[in-house]
Structure 1
Amino acid sequence: MKNIFKKMNEKVDFHFYASKDKQLKKTMTVKDFLALGLGTILSTSIFTLPGLVAAKFTGPAVVISFLLAAVAAGLVAMNYAEMASVLPFAGSAYSWISVLFGKFWGWIVGWALLAEYLIAVAFIAAGLSANVQGLISPLGWKIPNAFAFPLGTNGGVIDIIAVVAVALVTFILLRGDAETTKIANVLVVLKLLAIITFVVVGATAIKAQNYVPFFPKPHALSDGTQFVGGWSGIYAGISTIFLSYIGFDSIAANSAEAKDPQKTMPRGIIGSLLIGTVFFVAVSLVMVGMFKYSAYLGNAEPVGWALRQQGHVIIASVVQAIAVAGMLVALIGMMMAGSRLIYSFGRDKMLPKSMGKLNKKKIPQNALWIITAVGVVMGAVFPFTFLAQLISAGTLIAFMAVSLAMYPLRKREGKNLPKAAYKQPFFPVLPILGFLGSLTIFMGLDVQAKLYSIVWFVVGVIIYFAYGMKHADSALDESDVNTDEEINENL
């Protein structure tokens, strides 16, 4: 038993990851990470969740939920910025926690992140499909229900558009990082133009009465469910929309491919979150101002719908077409992050080492195929609303772990770890606030999300003890796994 606990708490040497990740090409700049982060943050959620959350939980106060979620995410983003600058490794929180707390704890955090990426791919693909269908409906085109909806929803069998979207992004990613970031940068610019267009045009249709009451009271909705309302609704809204801000996590997962990560990572992580928050607030205010919040109930493409209802059919089509193209950036970001995480599992032999192999273009091809396969199945089968809170659960677990890891990181910076070019302010207060904020949001998730998180956790523990603990030892020799004292002696 003592040996088992010793293995669980073995810390991975910084130099091991630094050596292994040298094979990844260092091509990504601040501009690339901002594009990747904004593309992921301003993904399906900015075109869908403001309306859905307003209709079910908050009413016009949806903007408060977005702002409070941004504050909680910002506290964690500062942790991520410092972590990524000191430990620029593939796998982000998985690798960081393995270095700072031990391999078992790193695996648990990585396993939680894997759930985030897998579900996020499916969520974005499902939202993209809903917007495509909304885009083609004015033309009189309609996909048969069997191929337009996931299994068990409105007579659906498979969401074929979601399948095609994931397959297309896989093709883009296989072209290599340089080509992928060029495409992502162009698509992000187009997406920002689409969002700005919606805000400017939609603002002309705002009616002040739609903001009253700003904090609606609980009441029955037309679909038979209960509108939460008040501060309870804002709290529920925060837990649902927190997934909107996970884009900075996907940036960190690709930090091993950053040029000058000491400067690149903090700027990319914090910059994308700040810019993304401004756009979320603007879209939320305009959306609930155009129509009474209850009009968005069950609407998976509220931006296009709102513009069409105001008579802006052509503008709605243009905005939605660009938005759909822009959603591909979010898929690119999540599939890149997910494949790098699975690559890091294979690198460490926590999963079969074939997952850690790179092709001739230095792309983790095998890991990418796994993300593709699972994303296709989940995006085509599971309903859009079912996926939303499940993404937040895995993310929040990782956020809590990274917040706590700031304390051992600071103790080791400049000793057996590099010094950070960026340091989180107000240490040691802000990391614990980031932890408490993430914990509070996690507790606000619905029972189903928490239950699935527990099941996923149990599966991860079983995999670790059945495979990872046994095989990972062969990935690291004695010089790779040392105590802090031994590493200090070697430096």
Structure 2
Amino acid sequence: MAHVLRKELTLSQIIAMAAGGMIAAWMVEIRYWFELTGPSSLLCLLACGIILMPLCLIYTEMTAMLPFAGGENIWTSNAYNWDIGWIVGWFMFLLYLSAMPNVTIGISTMISYLYPLNFIELKILACFIISLWFIMVNLEIKHLAKIQNMMFWSTLVISVLASLIFIFNEQWHWKNLSPWFPKGLAGLSAGLGLLMFKFIGFDLIPQLVEESNFSKKKIILGFVGSMLCTFLVYGLAIVGVAGIVSNDWIAKADIVDPRVADMIGIHWLALVIVIMGAITCVTTLSGFWLAASRTIFGAAVQRQVPKKLAEINRWGQPWVANLVVYICSLYFCIMAPEAWINYIFTITVGAAGIIYLFVSLSFLKLRKTHPEWKRPYVCPFGVFMGIESMLFCVYCLYQCVVAMDAATWIALGIYFFIGALLYMYAKYQQRHDPVNWEPFIPSPTNTTEEICENSRA
């Protein structure tokens, strides 16, 4: 079998996958946003986008400098050591896995608009979707990318048009958005910390860049483009529905946008939104699944996990890594409580906060320890960008800890117990089988052949 990922992804496809990772089942999630902070969730999203932009520029520099699957794990390993990289890699895997129930239960909830389902039935359907997608991601990526590219850009247009139909409807009034801050400063503060979740997805780009076929100087377009698309869709959605119905109505709705469309007598629009939303979630599922499997692939190249996990099938897909993603996705889906939105938000933002914090630290350190490495893109005002990003990460982590419930702590406890066992296994193998488990950290000085050699089982 081959051991090199194929370079088949265009810039447009990278943007579609990254933005698709951010734009998910907002018509289901938006009720949680309004529970947090009402219409001011729009301001929280805008603030998060602005605050996260320095981190995007940091990611751009690091991705262009070290364009390997595994991304943040490899960056941290280069800046610090193999052990720190392993920990970051395990958080990365958690980040992408935790998105799976968000997407699949979101799709199931949208389908329940057409045919009512209880929560157990929602999870069964979600597990079926995960199983179906396990088959899809093991086929040639260029075909999956083309399908996702078409679906994402078409649903982006439809979602914007749907929001504009709401805004220009006679029942829409600006005064309905009041009060903007129903939960006061506390709600705004929580929203600012937890709505960072909706911009998690730009970090898919480092996982996919090894399979891209465009100049690394254009990577900045992938990061900025995906962020702008995300804010456009979410921002218009918030204004569109909040101008028609009350904050309390939104917070209690099962699925918001289609219900609003029915309320104003446009049932065909409700059906279009449900179909479009399901398709959007499929693009999200693709992006996070690919990122999760590439995270494992990169860890296998570094010999943090068995090299078998870097094995690639005849379609160029890491099939063993995909199998691990499949099993773990089923676990997080089955573990999801009925308050699944809060469960997913806190796990995902917490994992992202840890990863982004270590990326910022690694960025600052590599600037000092390896100034000679070629950087196709250089982040301006590096020290300021790094410090600003670290402070925001710490703030988000605090908000996550405050918001976590018992179900979340249990799921995380089991996950990190398994991680501790895998880490100890890797350290044991390093001592007893150093030939096959000697740490390898890809850097700009390595050739493709060297990386390929270290991924062979």
What TM-score, normalized by structure 1, do the two folds share?
0.82
Alignment partner, residue 28 of structure 1: 9
Which whole-Å deviations, capped at 9, do the CAs of 1:377-422 have from their partners, x for residues lacking one?
422451322222111111111011101111122235552x3x2221
Residue among 99, 119, 126 paired with 1:162: 126
- Work out the number of aligned pairs and report it: 433
Residue among 116, 127, 149 paired with 1:185: 149
Shift of 1:278: 2.4
CA distance in 2, matches of 1:352, 1:484: 24
Shift of 1:299: 3.0
Work out whether 1:129 is the aligned partner of 2:113: no
Select between 322-331 and 351-360 the one with higher mean Cα deviation.
351-360
Work out whether 1:286 is the aligned partner of 2:240: yes
**For 1:7-86, what aligned pairs fall within 5 Å after superposition?**
23-44=4-25, 46-54=26-34, 56-86=35-65
Shift of 1:266: 2.3
Alignment partner, residue 191 of structure 2: 237
Residue among 470, 475, 479 paired with 2:428: 470
Report the identity percentage.
20
Q: Quickly say closer, same or farther: Cα 1:75–1:464, change in 2 above 3 A.
A: farther
CA distance in 2, matches of 1:242, 1:258: 26
Q: Quickly say closer, same or farther: Cα 1:95–1:38, change in 2 above 3 A.
A: same
Alignment partner, residue 116 of structure 2: 142
Select between 467-476 and 252-261 the one with higher mean Cα deviation.
467-476
CA distance in 2, matches of 1:377, 1:178: 29
**For 1:234-383, what aligned pairs fall within 5 Å after superposition?**
234-260=188-214, 262-383=216-337
Shift of 1:447: 4.8
Shift of 1:451: 4.6
Shift of 1:103: 0.6
* Runs of at least 5 residues in structure 2 that lack an aligned partner in the other structure: 446-457
CA distance in 2, matches of 1:484, 1:201: 50
Q: Which amino acid aligns with 2:30?
A: P
Alignment partner, residue 364 of structure 2: 407
CA distance in 2, matches of 1:396, 1:269: 18
Q: 1:425 is paired with a residue of what secondary structure? A: coil
Query: Which runs of 4 or more aligned residues in structure 1 lie more than 6 Å from their structure 2 counterparts after TM superposition?
Result: 481-485
* Runs of at least 5 residues in structure 1 that lack an aligned partner in the other structure: 1-20, 150-155, 217-228, 486-491
Alignment partner, residue 91 of structure 2: 112
Q: Quickly say closer, same or farther: Cα 1:352–1:22, change in 2 above 3 A.
A: closer
Shift of 1:161: 2.1
Q: 1:297 is paired with a residue of what secondary structure? A: helix
Shift of 1:201: 1.1
Which whole-Å deviations, capped at 9, do the CAs of 1:21-80 have from their partners, x for residues lacking one?
971111112111111112111112x333333211x1212211111112212322211111
Q: Which amino acid aligns with 2:267?
A: V
Alignment partner, residue 448 of structure 2: none
Select between 72-81 and 426-435 the one with higher mean Cα deviation.
72-81
Q: Quickly say closer, same or farther: Cα 1:298–1:108, change in 2 above 3 A.
A: farther
Q: Quickly say closer, same or farther: Cα 1:421–1:474, change in 2 above 3 A.
A: same
Alignment partner, residue 389 of structure 1: 346
Q: Quickly say closer, same or farther: Cα 1:187–1:454, change in 2 above 3 A.
A: closer
CA distance in 2, matches of 1:250, 1:175: 19
CA distance in 1, matches of 2:148, 2:202: 15
The 8 Å contact of residues 109 and 122 in structure 2, kept in 1 or not, is answered as no
Which whole-Å deviations, capped at 9, do the CAs of 1:221-259 have from their partners, x for residues lacking one?
xxxxxxxx1121012112332211111111221121122
Q: Quickly say closer, same or farther: Cα 1:401–1:52, change in 2 above 3 A.
A: same
The 8 Å contact of residues 346 and 403 in structure 2, kept in 1 or not, is answered as no
Which whole-Å deviations, capped at 9, do the CAs of 1:142-200 have from their partners, x for residues lacking one?
34x3xxx1xxxxxx366222122222322222221111101111110222122112211
Alignment partner, residue 209 of structure 1: 175
Work out whether 1:438 is the aligned partner of 2:393: yes
Q: Quickly say closer, same or farther: Cα 1:430–1:304, change in 2 above 3 A.
A: same
CA distance in 2, matches of 1:94, 1:133: 39
Q: Which amino acid aligns with 2:293?
A: S
Q: Quickly say closer, same or farther: Cα 1:274–1:483, change in 2 above 3 A.
A: closer
The 8 Å contact of residues 3 and 312 in structure 2, kept in 1 or not, is answered as no
Q: Quickly say closer, same or farther: Cα 1:483–1:94, change in 2 above 3 A.
A: closer
Select between 278-287 and 317-326 the one with higher mean Cα deviation.
278-287
Q: Which amino acid aligns with 1:395?
A: A
Alignment partner, residue 398 of structure 1: 355
Work out whether 1:195 is the aligned partner of 2:151: no
Q: Which amino acid aligns with 1:33?
A: I
Alignment partner, residue 10 of structure 1: none
What TM-score, normalized by structure 2, do the two folds share?
0.88
Q: Quickly say closer, same or farther: Cα 1:447–1:437, change in 2 above 3 A.
A: same
Shift of 1:287: 2.1
Select between 79-88 and 302-311 the one with higher mean Cα deviation.
302-311
The 8 Å contact of residues 240 and 388 in structure 1, kept in 2 or not, is answered as yes
CA distance in 2, matches of 1:246, 1:164: 25
Q: Which amino acid aligns with 2:404?
A: Q
CA distance in 2, matches of 1:116, 1:466: 22
Work out whether 1:455 is the aligned partner of 2:422: no
Aligned Cα root-mean-square deviation (Å): 2.6
Q: Which amino acid aligns with 2:275?
A: A
Q: 1:248 is paired with a residue of what secondary structure? A: coil
Which whole-Å deviations, capped at 9, do the CAs of 1:269-305 have from their partners, x for residues lacking one?
2221122122222211222212111112243421112
Q: 2:382 is paired with a residue of what secondary structure? A: coil
